[in-house]
Amino acid sequence: MHLPVAASTLALGLMLACLPADAQTSAAASSPVTTRHPVTTATLAGRVLQLGERDGQCVVQRDAETLPLGIPAPCYFSTGRDHAAQVHVFNGTPIVLIQHAKPSTRTDWNVATGGPICDYAAQAVRDVGGKLEPGIAGSGSSPRCDPTEGTDQKNFVYGYDTWPNLKPKKPAAGQPTR
């Protein structure tokens, strides 16, 4: 190694070591939130849903109905491969998933080695007999920082504990009946 290169590397290392810890991580701590396919309109049960914002929270608007959600704005529909809003039908009930992402402020995550991370919030909305029903809002962290990215069906259904269109099935052979 040449002496000037070694000296500059040592000097840079000493300067970084002398910086306060928050100055060393603040630039790396912010993760870019991207929205490659920002979809704010969906069709659920033949009717158009539009996402909006009220007092910093996400709302779903359909005709004259406004449904406040438990996640922050801005929010977007989860999208499919066609870049349109994903609509899943589970037990005869159509469901959409609305997501929000923001740069994480987690202090236990090393962006330099783990990459960017975002805090996510998501909430499903289903149509039951023409009425919109919100699921339970969920949150977590993810290295995916695009709230428009598609997701698995289980994320659409976890926020509900009952299914109105579920038809009871016969027990399997040898299983007791209730």
- In tens digits, the chain (178 residues) has pLDDT values of 444 433 333 333 333 333 333 333 333 344 466 666 689 999 999 999 999 999 999 999 999 999 999 999 999 998 888 889 999 888 888 999 999 988 888 778 777 787 778 888 999 999 999 999 999 998 888 777 766 666 666 666 766 666 565 555 566 676 666 5
Q: Please measure the distance between the N-terminal and C-terminal CA atoms of the chain and give it in whole angstroms.
A: 78
Q: What is the pTM of this model?
A: 0.68
